[in-house]
Copies of this chain bind each other. A is one copy, B any other.
Amino acid sequence: MPVTLRPGQALGLWRSTLLAQVLADAPDLTTRQMAILLTIYLDPPPHTIRGLAAKLSVTKPVITRALDTMGELKLVSRHRDEADRRNVLVRRTVEGSLFVEGIGDIIIAKARDLPT
């Protein structure tokens, strides 16, 4: 069952959710950082720096720096791949899960309140 949206609804939903992020005291993530975070939490593991960079068509330093930032916020964690110690595996955290769930709740709430 596809979800059908009309233009006004779609944009209103988008703005409401953006607005909730701007108003929140929560850390203000970049568009790219948010895309990276959601990829980590929605796509099946494992996640490597190179894989994420390819998936988002950005350079590796972008991923490294985004993980630095989000790691300090405890939204993700890094671990060496013991099988191939060149790789770094990105893992989810409890805090990150709650953060992502919170975003989902916002979208759902805004969608429910959409004007016809």
Q: Known contacts A22-B35, A32-B22, A35-B18: does B112 contact A11 (CB below 8 Å)?
A: no
Tell me if A98 is interfacial: C-beta within 8 Å of chain B: no
Tell me if A114 is interfacial: C-beta within 8 Å of chain B: yes
Tell me if A69 is interfacial: C-beta within 8 Å of chain B: no
Q: Across the interface, do A7 and B104 meet the contact criterion of CB distance under 8 Å? A: yes
Interface residues, chain A, CB within 8 Å of chain B? 1-15, 17-19, 21-23, 28-32, 34-35, 38-39, 41-42, 56-58, 100-101, 103-105, 107-108, 111-114, 116
Question: 8 pairs across A/B with beta carbons < 8 Å?
Answer: A3-B112, A5-B111, A11-B38, A14-B107, A15-B38, A18-B35, A28-B31, A29-B31
Contacts A13-B107, A30-B30 given; 18 further ones with Cβ under 8 A? Answer: A2-B111, A2-B112, A2-B114, A3-B5, A3-B13, A3-B112, A3-B114, A5-B108, A11-B103, A11-B104, A12-B42, A14-B104, A15-B42, A19-B35, A22-B56, A22-B57, A28-B31, A31-B31
